[in-house]
Every structure is written in structure tokens, then in C-alpha cells.
Amino acid sequence: MQTTPVIKQYLDIKANNPGSLLFFRMGDFYELFFSDAEVASNTLDIILTKRGQHMGKDIPMCGVPFHSAEGYIKKLLDNNMNVAICEQLESPKEAKMRGYKEIVKRGVVRIITPGTKLEESFLVQKENNILMALFFFDNSWTACWIDISTGLFKSTSTDDSRLLSMIDQISPNEIIAYKNKQEFGVLGSEASLEITWLDNKRSFSKSVLLEFLSSFFDLDHLKELNIGRLGSLSLIVRYLQKNRNLFLEHYNMPEQIELSNIMTIDPSTRKNLEINTSLDGEKNLSLLGVVDKTCSLLGSRLLKRRLNAPSTQTNQIFKWQRKITEFYNDNQITEEVRSLISKFPDTERALSRLIRLGPNPRDLYSLKKGMDLFFLLKDKIKSLRENKIALDDLVEDNLRNILEDLGLAIKEEPPLTIKDGGFIKETFNKELQKIKLEEKNAKFDLLELQKKYSQKTGIKSLKLKYNNVLGYFFETPIAYKDKLLEDNEFFHKQTTVNTIRIKSASLDKAEKTALNARNNALELEVRILGELHQKAIEISKDIIGLSRKISSLDVCSTLGHVAKINNWCCPLVDNSNDFIIDDGRHSVVEKTVLKKSLNGFVPNNCSLSADEHLWLITGPNMAGKSTFLRQNAHIIILAQIGSYVPAKKAKIGVANKLFSRIGASDNISKGQSTFMVEMLETSNIIKNADSKSFIILDEIGRGTATFDGLAIAWAIIEKILRNNKSRTLFATHYHELTEIESKNSKVKNVSCEIKEWNDEIIYSYKVIHGKSKGSLGIKVAELAGFPNDVILEANALLRKFEKKRINEKDVDLRKGDLEKERLLKVKRDIDKIDLESITPLEALNILHGLKSDI
């Protein structure tokens, strides 16, 4: 069977967009054919049908309604699929004017990928949506990343050792890279990374790159970049160009980031410290959840970026501190500022949609509202010294001019779309005012005609209605059909089950006047909207600057607010190797404790310096070792974003790298056991940490035989003391390690205090000097509900191990040892009985329990 013109058109367009599902516009539907239809049908759970044949085979087909397509596209994007939007570029009427057999012209207007989403329903509101290009040249990696929904645009360079940390810090939604040997060799093995591989068929000479990029950026600035940065920038520009998402005239050159100015946090550390989410995936139980009390979406996104990239530059940290302190010291201005910012719209994303998707009244109104609030905030904080948000005079004049136009033109809370009009104030334009009056009079005439016909026919239920097919018409119950059609003034248009629909010459005349006025008004409103849209995007860079001022103000006022309500202190930050904390607290655990109305969180001190930089922490399970480790790591992160910290007093030397090895996990996809993962992560730490780093290690070596684990843990400590010289908190159950303190003055033994009373464990959660009495693991097992015979046998074995200090393979547990342990427990239970108050039933129950123990 011969291929139809429409299918031929589809195949031609599909051939030019092979990596995307083609949403092919057919009237009120987007339709998919062939393999695209099969994939979409399965992913979206929609019916797969067929339409016609191609090369003798049925053509699979499925479709989704145009008006509800966003939900379907979002699901495909969430499954890491790309969607090419193919629209009708002319009306059927225009196509017929070219020839009777001509079909509507169609073309791809945009390709949506996980990294190029714009629609509000596609995006996570409080997170950036990042597209990152990675480019390898001359033994160095260059990354260029952009959020086309907000205007974020940055670049940096790194080596293999920091590559994954850098990617994790930025957390891109999509990574693009050329499928060269080096790129694929390093990135292809990382299963957690979603990478779009592109074929490389281009020269990477500087002259070629400059020639291509000079169409988009200033040539003098481009010449200052090396081939690596030009290559990554070129890669991202070409990808956006191919996907019809290129609007770089609204961007300056990407901001160059020096990774040495940012604390390195590797992926496992970021996860283990629960910076962005808890290990269960909950934001509320993370460090971000504690501090993100921002009032705007812009501020929330900035705070997350800042929390994931703490500064190593004291000047920057001091600048942030001073801004936060102003709000900390003035509660009234903080509340007033936060109240205003809470009304601030997402101007970043509204502007990006206007730039890429065209005029929209709701987005223009968002810009107007944002500019209004900007000037209110500027006036509100004019007394503040550190938090001024003024822009250049020329920039503010530009903003005021467009603000005035938008205020006069756009209705408050305008409709989401332009199709029905009603978004421009009539008072803004005299011609519009005249047309709207004509439309109003025409509608009045229509209503008068309804009254006239109702009186003439005696049908009180005669109603004036409208739809897109018939236009205006009169509708009555079908019982009046004969009566109406006897009158020559009326002519029949449509019959339904219960009604009859009629028209008249007078109705047609009034309808024509009303619809002409309506169409003219809509056409004029659209033209006015287009003019306002053009004015707004002409100052897009000014609006981006305004948005950044507000997001920074939101972050600083929020951190001041959080510090005040939680009684945090302003840390003294310097370039020393000190980490001295008085009454430090774990912000997340403290929040949980308060929420559950438990006893207050127990604060603890920590004191590390060049002279004593490794604390060896012992103590039983559940005594608070892991909490103590994490709280100090959180404190150093907070300090280096300029924030106050949960402590009574703090002095913190800047850390260039933060490492942690906490918790047990495996990597089945790579065939790595829990112990192997632990060793790989620890190896990374001791290879890359230095004297400016901060390390927390928890129970290293526990995943293997006791003496193997002890030997490994001991060797790691010696390595840190001898070479790395990092500030380190090392928690362990290997009590033999406490002997290191007597041999090295840079080590200090501390422990998590516990008390035993009436054969019970009492946790004080206090970190004290000295080593722990023991791990008390069997006590914890008992609390967990282990069977009594298991607990008895474990205690007997423990006494044997402690007495003889031998390996478990050499143990020959005699029956007498276990019997003795059972009798000792019976004696302890009998000693607890209060003979003065016990009831006969209680005594019987105790006797039954003692019998089972014996």
C-alpha cells in the first residue's frame, strides 16, 4: 500500500529527530506512530491502536489530547525520555490555499529533555533543573551547566579525583558528553549518572570553537578561555540549538567557578550526612530541612545551592555572616522582610517561560508583582547597611518604566492563556475600550432578542447559548419543536435527546456584531500583550539581577530567623586548624526530640586543633556516637555558608574538604560488598584528605574478622596522624585503639557516658574524657527483645572471651559456664522482688519466668 502524505511527512520529521518520541500534532491531538507509539503506550498506559499501513504492515498508533498533553509528557520525562513537539505551522485553510491536495505544514518547534524542562508542571519548584555538559581535554575535565528555567549559567574545571564530587554537588538533571574514549571510560561505569551520549564529529581547535561561539558571546571574552572551557560551552550551546532551546542573548558568559573556593564533599559523604535528604529520602529530616524556612522559591533554590557548596574563602563567609547578623539582631525588620518576600512570585521561571514559550499574561503579571515588591523591599531595608538591594540607576529606571506599563495594562490575576482574552485593562487603550463597548452592546442586543422571542413564543424556558460549532443559538425543551418551526422567523440547527436548537436572521446579525467585536478585542489584546512582552524581555538581564538580589535577601533573612528561634551562635571563622565547639547540638535530632516532646537534646563540646587533631570516641551502641559525629560535620558546613551554628560558642578553622564514612551499605550492581564499599570510601579519604580537611569515621573495620578490622582501623589512624594530619573524629568499638593516646599526643580518648543502675543501661548522651568501659552490645540486644536463652549464652561467652582474650575459634564453652550465668541471672531477678508489695498473681508469674530461665 502506498504511504499516505501525512505518514510520509511524519517519517521525514522523525528521521531528523531519532532520539526523541515525536508528538505529531493532528488537530486536537498529539499522535505517535510506529515504535514511538509502542513505547509511549507502554509507559503512559494508554491504548495502542493502528492507523493505515506502511510497506504492507499495520502502523501502530496512540495519541493524547492536546489540552492535557503536559501530564503525559511529564511522565515520559520522568522516565528519562526525550519528547519532540511537532506542531502544525499553518491552518488547514492556509494549506488548501497552496493546493487542493496539500497537507498542513508541520515542524518540530522544541525538543524537551530532562535538562531542558520549562513548564511549571514539569519542574520541582524548589530545585534547579540543570543541564550539564562535560568535556575532557588535555587531562582535565571542564563542566558547563545551565538552568534554562532560571537563568543560572556556570562553568568550572577539575580533574578525575574531584569529578564525581563536583557532579554530585551540582546535581544535574541531565548530563551530555561526547562519546569519546576518555569520557565514556570514566563516566560510562557510573550507573547512577544519566548521560546523553553525543557523537563527536568536530574539530576542537581553538579557532573553530571561537568561530562557532562568537555568534553568541563577546569574542574578546571568549579568547580568554582555554580549549576545555570553550569545548564544554560549545557542547551545551550546540545541544540547546539542536533542541530549539537556544536563547543565549539573554545570558552573559557563564560564571567561572573555582572549585578551590568550595568545600569538597564527595557523594557518599553528602548522602551519609543527610545534607539534602535523610537516608529514607525525607527532606524534613535533613540539614536542608532544618534551615530551609525560606519564603520564596528563588530563595529556596539558592539556599540549597549554597548549602551544597560551602565556601572556603573567609572573605565570602564574613560577608554572608554580616548579612545574616543584621537580621539576627533585628527581629522586627526580619519579620517584615520575610512577610514581603513570602508574596514574591517566581520571577526567574516566569521570565524564562516568556523568553522561550512566548507572551503569557500570567507570567507578565508575575514580573509586575515581583518588581512592585522589589521596590517595597528596597525601601523597607534602606536602614540596613549590609543587605542593601539597590541596582544601578539605569537598571532601576528600566524596571520602573516596564512596571508602570504592566501596572496600567495587565489585569490582576489574569487568565493562564490568551485564547479567551480578558487580560488587558480596557482603560489602557482607547481603541480597546471602544471595541469592548461594541461587544458589550452586542451582547445586550442578544439578551434583548432572547426576551423578545420568549415573549413572542410564550416559552419562558427559551435560553440563549453558545458553543464553538454553532456559535450563538436558542435552546428549548424538545416539546416546543413543532411550535417553533411553524414560525418562519426561526430555522432549525440541531436536535438533541431533550432539546431543540434554533437560530434566526436577527440572531445571526447580532451574533456577527458580537463575534466581530470579540475577535477584534482579542486581536488587539494579543497585540498589546506582545508589545509588553517584547519590552519585558529586552530588560531580561535586569530582571534576572533583581531576582538574584531577592533570593539572596531571602536566604540571609531566613538564616538569621532560623538562628534566632533555635538559639544558635555566630561562629568565629578563620584559617586556623581549630575546631572548638562549646555545647554543640545536632540541629536535625534536636528538632525531632522537641517534636516528640522528649527530654531536651544533650549538647556536647568538641576541641580539635593542630596539636590535638584526632578524637577517638568509644562507647556502647545507642549512646550517641554517630549523632556526635554528624552534628560536628553539620556545624562546619553551616559555618562555611556564613550561617550561625547550633552551639553556645564556636571557633572554626575553614575546611577545604569534608569526608565521612558512616553506616553500612553495599553496591550490588558493581558486585561490591558492604565491607568493600567501606574500604573504597575510606581509601578515598586517606588518599585525598590533608591538614585542612575534616574527617568523621564511624566503626571502620567492623565488616571483617575482628583482628583484621582492628588492624585496618589502627593503620588508618596512624596514616591520618602521620600524613593527612586532618581534624578527625573516629568512633570505634575496638577498645584496643585507645592505647594510641599514650603513644601520640595528637590523639585524645573520649567516650559516650553511660550508667548502669539495677541491671539497666542509662544513656546520658554526654561525651566525656577517657575511654569507655565497654560496648554493652549484649545489653542492647536484650533491649531489642532477643530470646532469654540467647542473651544468657552470649553473656557466658563474653565472660570467657574477656577472661582468656582468645579467638572465638578456640573457645570450648563448658556447660557449667552457661549454668552459672543462668543462676546468676535468677539471683539478680530474685533480689529485685519487693516482698512487701508483691501480689500472689505477680509472684506466680515471676516463678514461672524463673523456672523457664533455669
Question: Which is more confident, 165 or 761?
Answer: 165
Residue 383, C-beta contacts closer than 8 angstroms, at least 6 positions apart? 333
Q: What is the mean pLDDT of residues 618-634?
A: 88
In contact, 568 and 645? CB cutoff 8 Å: yes
pLDDT at site 411: 93
Q: Please report, for residues 37, 75, 116, 349, 500, the alpha-carbon distance to residue 82 in angstroms, rounded to integers and kept in the order given.
A: 14, 11, 10, 21, 48
Q: Smallest Cα–Cα separation from 507: which of 457, 476, 456, 465? A: 465
pLDDT band at 174 (very low <50, low <70, confident <90, very high): very high
Share of the chain above pLDDT 70, in %: 91
Cell 491502536 belongs to which residue?
Answer: 49
d(C-alpha 199, C-alpha 186), whole Å:
17
Cell 540571609 belongs to which residue?
Answer: 556
Residue 82, C-beta contacts closer than 8 angstroms, at least 6 positions apart? 19, 20, 21, 111, 112, 113, 114
d(C-alpha 658, C-alpha 665), whole Å:
20
d(C-alpha 414, C-alpha 6), whole Å:
38
Would you list the DSSP string of 272-321? HTTSSS-TTS-STTSHHHHH---SSHHHHHHHHHHHTS-B--HHHHHHHH
> Which range has the worst mean pLDDT, 75-79, 682-686, 695-699?
682-686
pLDDT at site 614: 96
In the chain the first and final C-alpha atoms are separated, in Å, by 89
pLDDT at site 814: 44
Beta strand extents in 49-105 (DSSP E only): 49-54, 57-65, 83-88
Q: Residue 668: left if φ>0, alpha if ψ -120 to 50, beta else—which one?
A: alpha
CB atoms inside a 10 Å sphere around CB 335:
13
Tell me the three cell numbers of residue 272. 551519609
Beta strand extents in 534-574 (DSSP E only): 572-574
pLDDT at site 803: 67
d(C-alpha 85, C-alpha 791), whole Å:
66
In contact, 654 and 314? CB cutoff 8 Å: yes
> Which range has the worst mean pLDDT, 368-382, 389-403, 707-721?
707-721
Q: For the sheet containing 572-574, what is the strand order? A: 572-574, 649-653, 579-584, 604-608
Q: Residue 519: left if φ>0, alpha if ψ -120 to 50, beta else—which one?
A: alpha
Instruction: Return the amino acid letter for 498.
Output: N
Tell me the three cell numbers of residue 330. 533585628
Parallel, antiparallel, or unpaired: how do β-strands 614-618 and 604-608 relate? Answer: unpaired
3-state SS assignment for residue 659: strand
> Which range has the worst mean pLDDT, 155-159, 181-185, 292-296?
181-185
Question: Which is more confident, 567 or 188?
Answer: 567
3-state SS assignment for residue 391: coil
- Most confident by average pLDDT, 243-257, 294-308, 591-605: 294-308
3-state SS assignment for residue 730: strand
Q: What is the mean pLDDT of residues 194-223?
A: 87
pLDDT at site 622: 78
> Rounded to 5 degrees, what angle do the CA atoms 601, 606, 611 make?
175
pLDDT band at 818 (very low <50, low <70, confident <90, very high): low
